[in-house]
Amino acid sequence: MKLQVKLAVYNTLTKVAIILFTGLLILLSIEKISYNHMELRLESDEQATLNNLSSKEINGSLTTQKVYKDNNILNEEFITIKPVAYKAVLAPNGKFTTEQREFNHITKDYRVLSHRFHYNNQTYMLEIGVAIESVEELKSIIKKFTIVVLVIALVLTLISDLIFTRFLLAPLYRIIDRKLIKVNDPMNFDYEKIKTTTQDFELLDDSISSLMKKISNLFILEKQFIANVSHELLTPISIISSRLENILLQEELSEASENKMHASLKTLNRLKSIINSLLLISKVENNQYDKADMVMIAAVVMEIQEELEDRIEEKRLTFTNKLKYIYTIKGNRPLIHTLLFNLINNAIKYNNLKGSITINDELKEDTYTIKIADTGAGMDKKQIDNAFNRFEKLETDEKESYGLGLAIVKSITAFHNIRVDINSVKGEGTTVMLVFNTSAQA
User: Could you read off the pLDDT of 270-298 as tens digits, one per residue?
Assistant: 888 778 877 887 778 777 788 888 999 99
Closest C-alpha to 374, from 391, 392, 393, 354? 354
- Strand, coil or helix: 250: coil
Summarize pLDDT for 140-168 with one digit per residue, the tens: 777 788 788 878 877 887 788 778 878 88
Which string of DSSP letters, residue by residue, matches 299-320? HHHHHHHHHTHHHHHHTT-EEE
Let me know if 293 is exposed, middle or buried by CB neighbors in 10 A (0-12, 13-18, 19+): middle
- Strand, coil or helix: 287: coil
CA separation for the pair 257, 270 (Å, rounded): 20
Summarize pLDDT for 341-371 with one digit per residue, the tens: 999 999 998 899 999 999 999 998 889 999 9
**What is the distance, to the nearest Å, from the Cα of residue 37 to the centroid of all Cα atoms in its chain?**
54
Tell whether pTM > 0.85: no
> Mean of the pLDDT values across residues 68-89?
80
pLDDT class of 3 with cuts at 50, 70, 90: low
Closest C-alpha to 194, from 164, 169, 174? 174
The CB-side HSE value for 47 (13 A sphere, CA atoms) comes to 7
